Structure 1
């Protein structure tokens, strides 16, 4: 068909308009991508985004953060900018300075950096600085936690009576807990009261399941520490109190002598718990310590806690229950045996039974210790010490609960919501049946289907 001159002109104009609009659209998209940046993360566990815990931490920081990154490698620079950009999306005054260690010699001397690696990082916050050995989210967030601590948080663990070791090699030790607390800015130390007195800088005293008797003089030191306004974490297992009954009486508590057993067979089966003395906790009473716990915790070999009196307070302590055992549990007074049946006449106590109690009162500082800050004195008593051991600290939310407890006891309530980000699930676990199906499919079914399709195509072409 022959086009008229008018139609030809109209088509030419349409083509020109289309090209102009198309070019304008491309230019507009280029301008938008250059000036605006939006990112969404569809990976498992949001591996390329900041965790909600790091975001919560950034929202609590009211001063600028600056990171000095020393490297000459272009690939490392790109990785640095990628991780810092995640922080800058949340906190606008999170600054990054990329420095060349061969050129910025004056700055590297001020930062005290020794280039024994291809890279080095220094983070500044609140007129304080810290060198970090890697630029991962965990390293940055932990450094910010440490820099934002108001002062040196000294935590004293008693030793010398069979208490839990914080640097031990056996599964009963608190080695993993120690590492986590140090990463968060706590200063942990162990003291034998027969050799040294408690430092005046002690922010928290921890008594973790002794197995030998305390002497009267040692109990008096602990008692004086509490009377002077000191914070206490007491982790006790079923059995003897080894002289600490006086401390329980001072706190207005009574520690039950039996072992809690759980008869919730369905829950234990779901959680894969075989031993009835491993107590699962799935519900928590409202408290700043437990408000962020969204998962179950496990407590092996646990004793119950009850108040001395329900009609009045003891020594002005206000007690709050953190969590109980289930309603299908009881405190077994006769010890663990193969067949256990609830028997109230034998001294068994029906559940639910209190496992953890938080106490607080106005700090009076009777001893006049200037190192003890004014405000609320805090104590937590838990009828189990195994849940923070290296064996069980990774079970459920045990670690998060433990960190929340330490933060609350020293008064850092703002950091209780900053939990440990779980590692992404990057493993694919297949049983033998699934492996057989995949192998059968890839090595037999798929090749056979391709052979059949090829034969059909050949046959159809041959018979055309």
Structure 2
């Protein structure tokens, strides 16, 4: 409060003394005054810049893959929050990378908060959340609390898990995916021929997964959002096929993953949709030497919501069959997975031959379609949907444990189920952002040349230039 009067008194004293002694008119005084005013102006500008910087934040991510920015799905979800949410991190250590990620979320909405808690200092709060170990991260909103993940030195906070858990707890809806069982399909529990990793990934994306035995109940449950048929080894009963047909005709959605060595007797259903499964085996002689020719590598994808962000990423399918489509009224088909053209790939009819070669008239030249997405408009829309959706892939092996997490295999499955669920606001799979390797690898000769240039050539050029300049001016 006394600062302003004090400054005013000092200014008045300077003016009075200057008029009495006439030192304000001296040249030295004027130069000093100009320097003082310039210094004060610079300090004022720096203070103003610091004030604006403290009140308003401006960040620009210049990395090629946007390593330090949230995915579009995350930004949209947080900006549209209708109730406050809070992230609780029960850990003593505050990792700066995790804090940066949480700050990115917080900047999107004032309804997003986070707090680090020492579980030893606040054991009562930790007990309320049921904390069992340090590093547990919880999401809380409207008295609901869900575990997101456990962070430690080897595992940092994941945007994928946080966004999907945020979607699950804020939407308040449960999306149910049933996995058909009873015909040798892949199992949901860990073990041989298991897709437990795929099932867990769906659970992390707010899906509820359950096995389904149609032979026992003869109809698809009313709460089914998606039916997944993962690699049946034996044929379905006619009643089961009819139940799937009725489900799809009533606005249902299904993912059929059919391997080339099986015949599930799904022709009545597939014919309705204009889909035909080729009995030949897709081979890729220009693919990976480690995987072998029976594992087609896909880097080309159709223009569809399932694959729109895949670019030229890699997915691969061990023992796959081509999938063909024919035009059908009210059904739109979009190829999803395309192999490379012949002579790299073709459909092999003689799978027992020791010598792999293309036989005209028996085999089929690539490119081959290994997966297709179809949409069927309903003549009588249901209260929840105006269309049915179907995805058919000529392979199920890519979803099994061990292969699911490699390359884009998991993304193909997760995005297919998400699209089939018709939850249009549900975020599709968010792929981890990876920093590209920009390291320059020099040969021995290049290293020697670079070192010689720095130690000898550049200094010598400098000396020559200085000598020429001196000679010119002497």
Match of 1:413 among 412, 420, 424: 424
Given the alignment of the two structures, is residue 69 of structure 1 paired with residue 88 of structure 2, yes or no?
Answer: yes
The aligned residue for residue 242 of structure 1 is: 264
Query: Displacement of 1:416 after TM fit?
Result: 5.3
d(CA) in 2 for partners of 1:22 and 1:306?
Answer: 72
Instruction: Report if aligned partners of 2:61, 2:68 keep a CA contact under 8 Å in 1.
Output: yes
Matches within 5 A, 1:19-168: 19-40=39-60, 47-58=67-78, 61=80, 63-67=82-86, 69=88, 76=94, 82-96=100-114, 113-117=129-133, 122-124=138-140, 130-134=146-150, 136-149=158-171, 151-168=173-190
The aligned residue for residue 470 of structure 2 is: none
3-state SS of 1:278 partner = coil
- CA deviation vs aligned residue, 1:227-252 (integer Å, no higher than 9, x gap): 43321110011133133233323333
Matches within 5 A, 1:11-410: 11-40=31-60, 47-58=67-78, 61=80, 63-67=82-86, 69=88, 76=94, 82-96=100-114, 113-117=129-133, 122-124=138-140, 130-134=146-150, 136-149=158-171, 151-170=173-192, 172-197=193-218, 198-263=220-285, 265=286, 268=287, 274-296=291-313, 297-307=315-325, 309-310=326-327, 312-313=328-329, 316-328=330-342, 329-335=345-351, 337-345=353-361, 347-363=362-378, 373-410=384-421
3-state SS of 2:222 partner = coil
d(CA) in 1 for partners of 2:146 and 2:258?
Answer: 37
- CA deviation vs aligned residue, 1:63-115 (integer Å, no higher than 9, x gap): 34421537696x64988764432113233443457789999999x69x95235
| Structure 2, unpaired ranges of 5+ | 1-24, 151-156, 456-474
Distance 1:320 1:64, change over 3 A: same
Q: Give RMSD over aligned pairs.
A: 4.1
- Give the count of matched residue pairs: 419
Say which is worse superposed, 331-340 or 151-160, in terms of deviation. Answer: 331-340
Distance 1:248 1:83, change over 3 A: closer
Say which is worse superposed, 282-291 or 5-14, in terms of deviation. Answer: 5-14
- CA deviation vs aligned residue, 1:128-167 (integer Å, no higher than 9, x gap): 6534345653342121221354621111111222111222
d(CA) in 1 for partners of 2:433 and 2:186?
Answer: 26
Instruction: Report if aligned partners of 2:299, 2:338 keep a CA contact under 8 Å in 1.
Output: no
3-state SS of 1:179 partner = helix
TM-score (norm. length: structure 2): 0.73
TM-score (norm. length: structure 1): 0.75
